[in-house]
């Protein structure tokens, strides 16, 4: 069903261009042309999507502007799917056991909440239908204007640091998962964990040469296909044991601490807000962004709910924290290999976003005018990759620290800040209902953040 919805989304929002004339610069979320079909150029940052169909010549190079590679709504959808269908999906069945029937409601509600905050975050990039901001940092600086002379620069710096920390920790988590899976797969060869970590690093070296989102979108597509294969295999196995299903493991009475942890797991499994401003800015037709975000979250909601519910009905109270531990020994090696491919293919998206923040002040173009990576930018990216590698070696149980930092930066970047930005920048244009929704989500984010920090700290101390 999830695949069918994605195919429908593909044909609803993406129409390949057959014209060889250059598209208009994308300075707003729609298209504007005069009566004769001539494009009216607006003031603002010009964003040329394609060339004129001539080899080696792009619209930007002919007109004197630097060309910016763009992606289709379909490619953007794969990137969002990659972000919200991550490794954390494997922990959803255990979270559902801990949260009971309320967890089923949370799976649907969280999809709507994260879809809403993603839309309002991107809406804050615009003023009068013109895209006047380009990043999360720009939005923070705009919100801080007029509060205190030093707040715009300080606020932008703080959110940029939070972004880099969250992205780097996500990259490190993927390296930890890749190392563990590779070590399990090669357990018969007595390969050490450090060697497996080095092999994972070698597989990820091509990420240093990423220059735009198109190759990242292709890798996200492959990652999503690997995820669908994993989900399909697990669900088919669960369906084969339908005769032993039981609803007794789901209840309305749950332990408060376990429930709060489960809420955090469910909500943060839908987070993609940190990628959305650059992703929307790279789209050929930005007017398709809301439709793309809605379809991807709807498909993820259906897939996650079915996946978690079938697993809980099959294993009940014996459901493991990572659902693959419940699989039989003859099926587990295949699932582990698919998970290894998924972890490695998931790495480029957060790494690309982190490297764009890291070398934002460094030109990624070669000194000869090509689209290569400069030496300084390559040095910055190598430093980021080695930092993730060293953290994966030094802190093999990084997931505990990841939970703590995710409760601080994740809740803030996903639930709290988007609502604050929306209320601050667009207050006069919001209805009473819009303001009430934003305040409600803001309150939910504060509760999740505080409770998540307390529970994560408690478990971190217990694990020492």
Nearest to 208 by CA among 429, 457, 75, 385: 385
Extract the tokens encoding 352.
Answer: 């690309």
CA–CA–CA angle 440, 254, 85 (5° rounding): 60
What pLDDT sits at residue 371?
A: 53
Q: Round to whole Å and give the CA distance between 172 and 195.
A: 16
Q: Round to whole Å and give the CA distance between 178 and 132.
A: 40
Residue 7, beta-bridge partner list: none
CATH at 4: 1.20.1740.10
Q: How many domains does the chain fold into? A: 1
* Cβ partners under 8 Å of residue 363, min gap 6: 374, 376, 377
What pLDDT sits at residue 53?
A: 33
What pLDDT sits at residue 119?
A: 95
Residue 32 covered by a domain? no
- Report how far apart, in Å, the C-alpha atoms of 109 and of each of 16, 184, 311, 415 are: 34, 36, 20, 13
Residue-wise burial string across 266-294, b where 16 or more C-beta atoms lie within 10 A, e elsewhere? bbbbbbbbbbbbbbbbbbbbbebbbebbb
Residue 37 covered by a domain? no
What pLDDT sits at residue 372?
A: 58
Q: What is the pTM of this model?
A: 0.73
What pLDDT sits at residue 47?
A: 34
Residue 130 covered by a domain? yes
CA dihedral 208, 211, 217, 219 (to 10 degrees): -20
Residue 190 covered by a domain? yes
Residue 186 covered by a domain? yes
What pLDDT sits at residue 193?
A: 79
Q: What is the span of the domain harbouring residue 337?
A: 1-15+62-463
What pLDDT sits at residue 7?
A: 42
What pLDDT sits at residue 399?
A: 52
Residue 307 covered by a domain? yes
**One-letter-per-residue 3-state SS of 111-167:** HHHHHHHHHHHHHCCEECCEECCCCHHHHHHHHHCCCCCCHHHHHHHHHHHHHHHHH
Q: 3-class SS at 28?
A: strand
Any idea which residue has 């695949």 for tokens? 3
Q: pLDDT (tens digit, 9 = 90+) per residue, 142-184?
A: 888 877 666 667 777 777 777 787 788 778 888 888 888 888 7
- Widest distance between CA atoms in the chain: 72
Residue 184 covered by a domain? yes
Report, as ranges of residue numbers, the positions in the chain whose pLDDT lies below 50: 1-27, 31-67, 361-370
Residue 25 covered by a domain? no
* Cβ partners under 8 Å of residue 124, min gap 6: 133, 139, 142, 418, 421, 422, 425, 426
């Amino acid at each position: 069903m999830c695949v069918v919805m994605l195919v429908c989304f593909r044909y609803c929002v993406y129409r390949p261009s057959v014209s060889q004339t250059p598209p208009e610069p994308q300075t707003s979320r729609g298209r504007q042309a005069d009566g004769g079909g001539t494009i009216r150029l607006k003031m603002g940052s010009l964003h040329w999507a394609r060339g004129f169909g001539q080899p080696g010549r792009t619209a930007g190079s002919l007109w004197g502007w630097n060309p910016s590679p763009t992606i289709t709504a379909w490619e953007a959808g794969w990137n969002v799917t990659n972000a919200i269908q991550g490794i954390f999906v494997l922990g959803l069945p255990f979270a559902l056991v801990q949260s009971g029937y309320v967890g089923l409601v949370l799976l649907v509600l969280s999809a709507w909440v994260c879809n809403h905050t993603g839309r309002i975050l991107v809406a804050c990039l615009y003023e009068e239908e013109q895209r006047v901001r380009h990043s999360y940092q720009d939005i923070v600086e705009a919100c801080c204007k007029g509060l205190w002379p030093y707040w715009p620069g300080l606020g932008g710096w703080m959110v940029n640091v939070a972004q880099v920390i969250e992205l780097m920790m996500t990259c490190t988590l993927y390296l930890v998962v890749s190392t563990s899976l590779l070590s399990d797969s090669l357990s018969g060869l007595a390969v050490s964990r450090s060697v497996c970590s080095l092999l994972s690093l070698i597989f990820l070296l091509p990420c240093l040469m990423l220059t735009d989102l198109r190759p990242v979108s292709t890798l996200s597509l492959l990652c999503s296909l690997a995820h669908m294969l994993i989900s399909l295999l697990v669900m088919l196995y669960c369906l084969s044991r339908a005769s032993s299903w039981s609803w007794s493991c789901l209840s309305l009475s749950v332990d408060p601490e376990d429930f709060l942890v489960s809420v955090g797991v469910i909500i943060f499994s839908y987070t993609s807000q940190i990628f959305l401003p650059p992703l929307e800015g790279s789209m050929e037709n930005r007017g398709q962004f809301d439709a793309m975000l809605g379809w991807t979250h709807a498909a993820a909601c259906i897939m996650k709910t079915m996946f978690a519910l079938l697993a809980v009905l099959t294993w009940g109270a014996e459901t493991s924290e990572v659902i693959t531990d419940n699989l039989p020994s003859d099926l587990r090696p295949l699932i582990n290999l698919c998970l290894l491919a998924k972890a490695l293919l998931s790495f480029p998206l957060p790494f690309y976003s982190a490297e764009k923040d890291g070398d934002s002040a460094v030109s990624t173009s070669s000194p000869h005018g090509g689209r290569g990576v400069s030496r300084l930018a390559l040095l910055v990216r190598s430093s980021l990759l080695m930092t993730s590698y060293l953290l994966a070696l030094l802190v093999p149980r990084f997931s505990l620290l990841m939970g703590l930092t995710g409760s601080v930066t994740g809740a803030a970047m996903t639930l709290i800040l988007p609502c604050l930005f929306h209320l601050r920048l667009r207050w006069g244009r919001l209805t009473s209902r819009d303001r009430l929704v934003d305040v409600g989500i803001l309150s939910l984010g504060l509760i999740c953040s505080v409770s998540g920090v307390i529970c994560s700290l408690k478990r971190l101390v217990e694990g020492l």
